[in-house]
Amino acid sequence: MTKYFIVLYFSVVLAVFGSEGITIESEADLLKAEALAEAHNQEAAVRVGEFYLFGPIHYQDHEKALYFLKKAMKFGNLEAIELIAGMYLNGRGVDQDEVMATRLYEIAASQGHGPSEFNLGIIYKRGGGALKAHPQKAYYWLYRAVLNESLDELRYDAALYRNQVGELLSQGERMAILEKIYKEKEQSSF
């Protein structure tokens, strides 16, 4: 029986995993991914949550998105944390709460998650709502985002915004932030 279960599980995994990881392109893929997510597969939980959040309009369900993303977040999945932060930032399926969004982005960004570093930099650049603009924090997070090798498509934007914020800071403030970043990098905290 165990052998049969392993073969069946392997077949399900092959049906849902592509070369890019889990893809959801049909109702059958969605059901298989949901089953994997319920079996504590973080990647499946993130993909299902993402599908319910951004997928075709007739599938969008913010409550289900939050349910599956929280499953992955319980295991510390940084992408799930970032997606939930975006839900709070934009009030999608939850009450809009920029403070909660910022806290969640900080959790993921402090562990080197590039999109969270970028989003945090933008939040601190613009301020708004319950948050005031904070040029030093914006410069710090945007600079980290520029250095983050996993952020290819946003590196140019991060550099552009970092330079805009940098104009608001003195040379001494910029140098202090750079020293902090490079000390962290030497200690491999990101």
Say whether 21 sits in a helix, a strand or coil.
Answer: strand
Kindly state whether residues 52 and 113 are assigned to the same domain: no
pLDDT digits (tens, 9 = 90+) for 114-162: 999 999 999 999 997 778 999 999 999 999 999 998 878 888 999 999 9
Tell me: do 186 and 95 sit in the same domain.
yes
| CA–CA distance, 5 with 11 (Å, rounded to integer) | 10
The SS3 of residue 131 is: strand
Q: What are the CA-CA distances from residue 102 to residues 13, 156, 180 (Å)?
A: 35, 22, 21
In the chain, how many domains are there? 2
Shared domain for 137 and 183, answered yes or no, is yes
Q: E strand or H helix at 57, and its extent?
A: none
The range of the structural domain enclosing residue 70 comes to: 1-75
User: What mean pLDDT is predicted for residues 22-28?
Assistant: 93
The verdict on 137 and 97 lying in the same domain is yes
Tell me: do 182 and 90 sit in the same domain. yes
Terminal-residue alpha carbon distance, the chain: 45
Task: Choose one of 75, 95, 128: the last residue of a domain.
Answer: 75
In this structure, the answer to whether residues 88 and 174 fall within a common structural domain is yes
